[in-house]
Amino acid sequence: MNSLTAALLASAALLAAPATAQNASPVPGYSAPAPVVTLPGTPQPPFPTTPPKLIVAISVDQFSADLFQQYRNHFTGGMARLLTGAVFPSGYQSHAATETCPGHSTILTGYRPAHTGIIANNWVDQSVNRPDKIVYCSEDESVTGMNHNNYVVSDKHLKVPTLGERMKTADPRVRTVSVAGKDRAAVMMGGHKMDEIWWWDGKTYVSYAGRPVPPVVERTRKAVADLVARPQEPLPLPGFCKPLDRPITVGSQTLGTGRFQRMAGDLKAFRVSPAADAAVLAMAAGFVQDMKLGQGPQTDILSVGLSATDYIGHALGTQGAEMCIQMAELDRSLAGFFDVLDATGVDYEVMLTADHGAHDMTERQQIRAMPMESHVAPDARTKAMSAAIAKAMGLPNDPPLLMSAEGDIYVNSALPAATRAKVLAEAKRRYEALPQVAAALTRDEIAATPWPTTPPETWTLKEKARSSYDPTRSGDLLILLKPRVTTIEEPAPGYVETHGSPWDYDRRVPILFWRKGMAGFEQPLSVETVDIAPTLAATIGLPIPGVDGRCLDLDPGTADTCKR
């Protein structure tokens, strides 16, 4: 193995050594940066005026702005390098449906979910010819014998082009590569015209049927198989993680004792560990090396979806020692990844953000001065609500009056129009009466809401919902729970914490840009993830008019990178 696969996966030092925050920085010339202070009149180094040869867009799944702020002073590796660039700590996935698929669909398209068509991870399509009417965002539901949990991956539901697609249309020589820990991350960031696209399917790294397997994927597959075949001892605890090192009881589980210890052959445990991100970064770096990305006359683009933070958050929460270890190891793995990119001599530009934030598990919040935290009550279940309405109105409930996916409620389309209207009105009335519900918005209410034009932190619930609303896919009624009410009714193994709410702890994410030679600055005011694509496009002189986002000027000097 001659790529970063060897460095990240065959090296026990990187996967099991103490977190780098306790040690010297693995990035030569970089250390934990001091706060960037730019005084009026201070001369700034010139911003690079030529287009970068390689764009590297990284999404860290569930990397909230709160998590970024909590650990930013402990970063000494790859994240520390990014902190010397342009830092936007209050980026917004501004829509209501703060989930993986819609979030990733905004990052490299410049469009909000209302325009990408990716309203949620799943939605209901009552015309689908299968008992399972739920459609997964990255599936081809026309394939017979499948369902939303067992599906053929497809990009068909993404309605808009990604930055990589636009680049390839403008110059067919452009190479576009997307790798991720989830299919929906790889698809939504990569788009429809991919030279290479690979993701983890729970067992190994796969792509669309019939795609030849390049050597770097074979190397990564073998390295991961060899790694998983061996047991993993608990990872050492960085010193700054020690205050978080305590067990907690959540339902029938006691969490906070494993530190990613793994039995030999446990693929699920591998996915919920820092090693999963190291493997994706290894494969990404291997593609850079093998395909010589950034070494042609054109600018190439690589998108990288790192999913371990999300899996760790769901399974173990955001405020335990495990997440602390993950932050240290992510910082470390990014440093190794950037080292490999540096060695190529390519002028590359990095953007790092997240698809959504998250909120720690209810049980830990309740013992940390937040007694108002709660799990959603059973009476909010769609199945229970449908049965109650059917009984009250004297209607049959087979098939059910109401169906749901995520927060969207769909009224049975086979009902007469007048009956559907009555069922919808009764559902709205009943949901609004529930003490945990903040709003129950009909599709007519959402569609009539003007497109928001103010900063995203000021948006009303209707405006947030409007940004996620697609009339061909959204439900008849959208249920939004009050702050600090989790959609998890009962925590279970692998699922103790979640996201998806319209509140800022799920909407706010960091957005970081870095390129060698650029002057760093920090802008604390809000921006949106839809601003990323037009900003990156501006650095390569590619106009992308008509998107929902705006270009962010990355030059703190006198030049305006958005007008090049």
User: For residue 564, which amino acid is it?
Assistant: R
Active-site residue list: 100
Q: How far, in Å, CA of 419 to CA of 393, rounded? A: 10
- The CA radius of gyration of the chain, in Å to the nearest whole number, is 23
Query: Which tokens go with 279?
Result: 């493997």
User: For residue 542, which amino acid is it?
Assistant: L
Query: Which tokens go with 253?
Result: 């589980």
Q: Annotated binding residues for substrate, as ranges? A: 121, 182-184
Query: Which tokens go with 278?
Result: 């190291």
Contacts of 322 by beta carbon, 8 Å cutoff, 6+ apart:
256, 258, 259, 260, 312, 316
Determine contact, residues 516/347, Cβ cutoff 8 Å: yes
Q: How does DSSP assign 477-492, residue by residue?
A: EEEEEPTTEES-SS-B
∠ CA 357-179-541 to the nearest 5 degrees? 85
Nearest one of 71, 122, 189, 16 to 408, comparing CA atoms: 122
Residue 533 CA, distance from chain mean position = 15
| Whole-Å CA distances, 535 to 79, 203, 528 | 20, 36, 11
Determine contact, residues 464/96, Cβ cutoff 8 Å: yes
Nearest one of 193, 225, 230 to 208, comparing CA atoms: 193
